[in-house]
Structure 1
Amino acid sequence: MPRTDALLAEPALLEAQARLGRALVKRAVLGAQARVRAGELAPDLVVDAALASLPATAAGSLHPVLNATGVLLHTNLGRAPLSAAALAALEVAAGSCDVELDLATGARGRRGRGALDALAAAVPAAGGVHVVNNGAAALALVATALAGPGSATGPAREIVIARGELVEIGDGFRIPELLAATGARLREVGATNRVHLRDYAAAIGPDTGFLLKVHPSNFQITGFTSSVSVAELANLGPPLVVDIGSGLLAPEPLLPDEPDAATVLAQGATLVTASGDKLLGGPQAGMLLGSPGAGAQLVERLRRHPLARALRVDKLTLAALEATLAGPPPPVSRALHADPAELRRRAEALAARLRADGLDAQAVASLATVGGGGAPGVQLPSAAVALPERYATALRQPGDGGNRDRDDGRGDGNGNGGRDDGGVPAVLGRLEAGRCLLDLRALPAEADERLYAAVRAVSG
């Protein structure tokens, strides 16, 4: 049995230690030695076995996944994959950078000035902008500053909100519980399915902190319903905060019913909150956009609030957000605007290659969704490769867990991992009518070769 210290001194394992750390590499060596003792491995193969079991990065619990679900913003897969421009910005920000330094004067600079300027440029109707670490944080900051108890606001004030907008989203997260946790009081108006302007007007009083309108996220109420528009609420007097959720900054013709920041501000909202990692296609972040005048003053008040420090975003988020706003269309935008005919062509080509290899594969029509709480009920025409149901598990867990993907970690700018060094990427499809569907809408064309290789690798 080769000695552990001698193995760790091997050039290949020394290089791995420089990338991954000694502790992780040593565990891999000890695991390979245990296999030798069990008679599963020849002693001269310990180095190769240890290298093969190492993850691509020190964050070994994370693995690149090809998103073949047909859900463009899959929350369990991290929502929006970052663009190549955002990945390049992360490399710059990962080292020492002028995130809070004015290089011209050597004095302290405005933190995140590039990202804030890019956000302001993307929504010219905004009078002021600010960024926190996620959408829930943006709403919590607003509720704390405008309606929470404290020296600046006095006793807790009321947030007027329609009962039909007290939504719960993924993992049991509930908007009313978040708001209540800030110490603010909720004033519910209307019925679950119907709310009228008179309901809001009757609820407004000296204790009103602000009116809140919330995007319904991933559900719809249909039938006998009514709601009140932003324009109508804007005339009632108190500040109007609109949580649009999905992060659209401008109208999207493919999603005509999805609210966007520019339109909502033009309709009279005082403040808009939104997420950065949904339809915007950027990193997790919470964006606050205020109207000119009162909204801009409110944004500045929120920026100076003590809680804002606790909700501050780091330099990596600022860099990726700026690149997303100022750079080329991100992957989610390209997926949203994918040509169904081209998707069908890709599916047919993949299925034909797999059938030529003796596999049961067919190109089928499919329906994709936006996901991430955006555009509930909207279905996007797509195409998929249909395989036997057993492929769903095999593709999700290819090879042994430690060697499922030997990517170099650089990525391809589409959230689909990096250069393939001979391993097998994990693939997440969906089950439908007893078949495993690999929907191509959320995958760029350059991922097709990796998808083909993954299916072939688990077909035996």
Structure 2
Amino acid sequence: MPDQPRSQDPRRSVPRTDALLAEPPVRAAEQRLGRALVKSAVTGVQDRIRAGELTPDDALTAVLDALPPTASSLRPVLNATGVLVHTNLGRAPLSPAAVEAIIAAAGTTDVEIDLATGRRGPRGEAAIGALLDAVPAAEAAIVVNNCAAALSLVATAFGQGRELVLARGELVEIGDGFRIPELLESTGARLREVGTTNRVTAEDYRRALGPDTGAVLKVHPSNFVVRGFTRAVEVDELAGALAGTGVPLVADVGSGLIRAHPLLPEEPDLQSTLAMGADLVLSSGDKLLGGPQAGLVLGRADLVQRLRRHPLYRALRVDKTTLAALEATLRGPLPPVQQMLAAEPSGLRARADAVAGRLTAAGIDAHVVDAPARVGGGGAPEHPLAGVAISLPAGFAEPLRRGARPVVGYLEDGRTLLNMRSLAPADDDALADAVLEVGRRWT
């Protein structure tokens, strides 16, 4: 076949890279996203023109459509799983107050300077103050980058080259193959296991104490539950057993619940655990507290100061944006996770009925069903929450995840369920729009 005349070669009609990059809206996008991302979008559009998928006249519009909303690959997702604290979806969504605080802290800030004197000031003092106001049973507190970091710091400071005493039933594995005993042993601590998998007594702990004991740990078992012939030693009983020994009692309560909650009767909380006699409590900041990823350590001032002065603390401390978000979460309005937890079933059903009404009016097979929700994040595994979901055909699940605003639901009994308890009311319109868009593509 003879070569095409040069005038008919489609490559000659492809807009030049420099010409597209010089277009004012593309230049503006480059200021926001960076040259590499913008140039990649331009190259992709040029390839589509060469393949005959687009005409040269479509080039500018196609480039702008191909640009990502931000320079990050992370995308906002609507969590319709019914799991309030979903690890795969980033755990707790931040409150508007926390988001504003992060933006304010993103530039240069007074994170570690006293503006009155011009001298170095205490780091994160306001966030620590907010934490202590929320948990008055604590004398002092520090913040590290997650709860595993808090446990690592405690194990290193109190247990390196010594023994940490804990119940066999608390040697658990949680998400992604993370095992508590491996973490503790990696710090150089020796584990002294007491009791059996299903039963442990205060006397078991007392007998394990010796000159090499660095601390006694009590670890929240997360999603692991033992039923039947069982016995555990509660914090108040254990604190009594350790009285006068000088051995600190450290309780990892996991979820970051500040105070006892009526819907979660068996979930330990920071205030009650300290009031029962724990010397230190550890928890996450991005679970039921509803804040940013963080590990919280609260309790006796002398023990907290010992952790603060340990060399490992420097490697584990949090940045200015985390401190800002944590303080705003504690000082500001109720964060989204706590709002979801407090939602009334009647309100959830009214929201679901309104969304389902829009969908059925558009000819989509949608109806409202009862569907339990969960706290997630290892919290309150035995206590489902009353929930309501919109039920759709099973085929909706994948295209909803792939949509312009991804929606993550779940499949049950051959249907796609979108649980309303894990969604903020402000997201209801976006949820309906996403389902309607999938319905339009199918019809």
1:138 CA displacement: 0.4
Describe the SS at the equivalent of 1:247.
coil
Matched residue type, 2:204: D
- Determine helix, strand or coil for the equivalent of 2:132: helix
Q: State the Cα deviation string for residues 273-329 of structure 1 (Å, max 9, x = none).
A: 010000000000000001xxxx21010010010000000100010000000011111
Structure 2 counterpart of 1:348: 353
Percent of matched pairs sharing the same residue: 63
Match of 1:428 among 394, 408, 416: 408
The alpha-carbon deviation at position 352 of structure 1 amounts to 1.7
Note the C-alpha offset of 1:53. Answer: 1.2
Off by >2 Å, runs of 4+ in structure 1: none
**CA positional deviation for 1:54:** 1.2
Q: Does 1:380 align with 2:376?
A: no
Among candidates 280, 292, 295, match of residue 289 of structure 2: 280
The 1-side partners of 2:220 and 2:261 are apart by 16
**Equivalent position of 1:307 in the other structure:** 312
Letter in 2 for 1:240: L
C-alpha distance in structure 2 between counterparts of 1:93 and 1:114, whole Å: 13
TM (norm. structure 2) is: 0.95
Superposition pairs of residues 174-323 of structure 1, within 5 angstroms: 174-235=179-240, 236=242, 237=245, 238-290=247-299, 295-323=300-328
In 1, the alpha carbon distance for the partners of 2:115 and 2:212 equals 47
**1:219 Cα offset (Å):** 2.2
* Match for residue 120 of structure 2 among 93, 98, 108: 108
Task: Give the drift of 1:26.
Answer: 0.3
RMSD: 0.7
Structure 1 stretches of 5 or more lacking a match? Answer: 149-155, 399-403, 405-424
Query: For residues 105 and 373 of structure 1, what CA distance do their matches in structure 2 show?
Result: 45
Deviation at 1:78, TM superposition (A): 0.4
Q: Cα deviations across residues 141-176 of structure 1 (Å, max 9, x unaligned)?
A: 00000011xxxxxxx111000010011111000111
Partner of 1:36: 49
Amino acid aligned to 1:444: A
Distance 1:444 1:141 in 2: 36
2:351 maps to 1:339: no
- SS of the aligned residue for 1:264 comes to helix
Residues 155-206 of structure 1, C-alpha deviations (whole Å, 9 max, x = no match): x111000010011111000111000000000001111111111111111111
How far did 1:436 drift? 0.4
Distance, in Å, in 2 between the alignment partners of 1:37 and 1:204 is 76
SS of 1:370's equivalent in the other structure is strand
Secondary structure of residue in 1 paired with 2:387: strand
- CA–CA distance in 2 between the matches of 1:279 and 1:218? 15
State the secondary structure of the residue aligned to 2:61.
Answer: helix
- 1:392 aligns with 397
> In structure 2, what is the Cα distance between the partners aligned to 1:439 and 1:382?
7
Task: Report the structure, 1 or 2, having the larger helix content.
Answer: 2
Give per-residue Cα distances to partners, 1:10-62, cap 9 Å, x unaligned: 01101100110011000000000000000000101111111111111100x21
User: How far 1:86 sits from its partner (Å)?
Assistant: 0.1
- The letter of the residue matching 1:86 is A
Corresponding position: 1:99 with 2:111: yes
Q: What amino acid does structure 2 have at the position aligned with 1:203?
A: A
